[in-house]
Structure 1
Amino acid sequence: MKPLWLTSLLLVTAAAWADSPRLLSAGSGLTELVLALDAGDHLVAVDSTSELPAGLPLPRLGYHRQLSAEGMLAQQPSLVIGSEEMGPEQALALVRRAGVQVEQLPEALSVEQLQHNIYRLGELLGKGEAATALQLRVDEQARALAAGPVGKKVVFLLLGDGRSVQVAGHHTLADSLIRLAGGDNPAAAMEGYKPVAMEALVAMAPDIILVSRRHLEQQGDPSELLRQFPLLRRTPAAAAGAIVPINGKALIGGLGLSTLAEAERLHQDWLRRP
């Protein structure tokens, strides 16, 4: 037996689904790709991490890992797309039972996987030509970055409540961004995000320290971060004034266009400096 709200939504939306694709996108990176493929007119709702142009106000359904089936189905989608992090699975199962196609694309940690996701989205949205053009653009960006690796040491710090700090190791999107930009992540021997002592961080001797812009603004500015963690002053990054804010949303849901943009900025503005 289907819940009454689910049965009602099915009756209301059946005709609408037949007319044109109605897309719900959960994940900032995938929403970026939808817009880049000129498929924004198919969007009916997005999650809270997605950024939209000013002229495209849409309902936001909360965090992409904490979506509700009722909230999704209320937007009458015919297709729901998200990364492997989209969920919870119980909600997605209910959406599938309602006859809605749900596609979860792998979280891209490489340009190759990003290219695959672009191709798959092109298939799903009937935007094959636009997908090919976007793949060429991404390939050009990646080739330009690969042409001039500089090998400076770069770490990404995830600041938590209080004085908790984690460093991004291997198999994280932050590590992918660092390598894509041409940097060397001295924390790559670790897997995932791991708590790090300031003494260990000093021993890594990073030339550049990356911090989410939102978290850095919560601290006030880089000088406040150094006051809170005075041992950081012993790093080459602090000595060079190279504590760099980056767009935290570029590190959500897999490597995407904003991740590439941040890699280009890191490469041009910081890694190519003498």
Structure 2
Amino acid sequence: MKKQQNHWQQSITYVAGCFLYLAAVNTATAYERIVSATGNASETIFELGLIDQLIAVDTTSTLPKAVMEKKPKIGYRRRLSAEGILSMKPDLLILAPDAGPATVVEQIKAANVPTVTIKDDKSVDGVIADIEFIANTLGVGDKAKALVDKIRRDEKAVKAMIADYPRPPRMAFLMQGGKMGVVAFGDKSAGNAMINVVGGENVFVKDFDSIKQVSAEAMIATKMDMIIIASHGGEHPGTDKIENATADYPNFALTQAAKNQCIFRIGSVEALGFGPGVAQAAKEIAGKVKDCVK
């Protein structure tokens, strides 16, 4: 009788183990047709090793370039098309908080497409929270650790640089391109968030929210130590490496930043996308501060 009970207990344990194993496998492969409507989520999915499950992306999904340029596009994240997304037959749609139009999002949900929304908080902690959220949603929470550890190492390096600044740098973060020409980032913007990450002071933080076109005269009057220009196309497509661009902007020749030889260019998505590479971009910028603060 005892042997029979032991046999049944072993059988039950084995069956339970099989169910747990199958549950784990099913969780890890629950989503095979993922559509991402935000670039930082798309880059995170790539870094988590799930790029084959990512079947379509929005136009802000540009990193890594060689991978994302081959993915079908569903439009800009704030101007999504229900027809385009539904045609991909996704089993998961990842959205940004500002995804829209709202009617389109509701139409997609009404079609019983599972959706999740990242928080997209513009900070290093916010990036890590979204990485962990995406990894857990996709059943690969364990894969997030290596990525998070790298970000924390880069963040630690940035904080060490900040501690070594003579004083906080006065900075302007600009973006080049489009009909508006060169625009500056004010308060409540990704540019201001990056300035905060690198321990700087945004010279336009009290002047306006979001972005605004600024004149050369306004740039001269602010007496900033550094100008960081986010570039994303044309002659200067932008990369994750910072480069000195003082000679390329003669309109700013009379600014203090130009006199310091401290006008720099970096990729807009790398510096402002607040994806997995955020701390690396911050490290690139912070590494130039000591040469610019006089």
Q: TM-score normalised to the size of structure 2?
A: 0.75
Distance 1:20 1:169, change over 3 A: closer
Contact 2:231 2:265 in 1 (8 A): yes
- CA–CA distance in structure 2, aligned partners of residues 140 and 261 of structure 1: 9
Q: Deviation string for 1:171-230 (max 9, x for gaps)?
A: 211112122223322222243223434333212211211122236837xx754532xx3x
- CA–CA distance in structure 2, aligned partners of residues 66 and 78 of structure 1: 21
Counterpart residue number, 1:238: 258
- 1:171 counterpart = 2:185: no
Counterpart code for 1:184: E
Number of equivalent positions: 250
- CA–CA distance in structure 2, aligned partners of residues 154 and 122 of structure 1: 35
Counterpart residue number, 1:255: 274
Unaligned runs of 5+ in 2: 1-28, 237-244
Contact 1:177 1:260 in 2 (8 A): no
Which structure's CA Rg is the greater one?
A: 2
Unaligned runs of 5+ in 1: 1-17
- CA–CA distance in structure 1, aligned partners of residues 65 and 271 of structure 2: 19
Counterpart code for 1:22: R
- CA–CA distance in structure 2, aligned partners of residues 175 and 261 of structure 1: 17
- 1:54 counterpart = 2:74: no
Distance 1:163 1:129, change over 3 A: closer
Counterpart code for 2:39: S
Q: Deviation string for 1:94-116 (max 9, x for gaps)?
A: 11111111122122211121121
- CA–CA distance in structure 1, aligned partners of residues 235 and 266 of structure 2: 11
Counterpart code for 1:180: V
Secondary structure, counterpart of 1:147 in structure 2: helix
Q: 2:56 aligns with which of 42, 45, 56?
A: 45
Contact 2:58 2:77 in 1 (8 A): yes
Identity %: 27
Matches within 5 A, 1:107-256: 107-149=120-162, 150=165, 151-159=168-176, 165-190=182-207, 191-214=209-232, 217=235, 223=247, 225-226=249-250, 229=251, 232-250=252-270, 254-256=273-275
Q: Deviation string for 1:72-108 (max 9, x for gaps)?
A: 0111111111211222221111111111111221222
Counterpart code for 2:194: L
Contact 1:119 1:128 in 2 (8 A): yes
Aligned-residue RMSD, C-alpha: 2.6
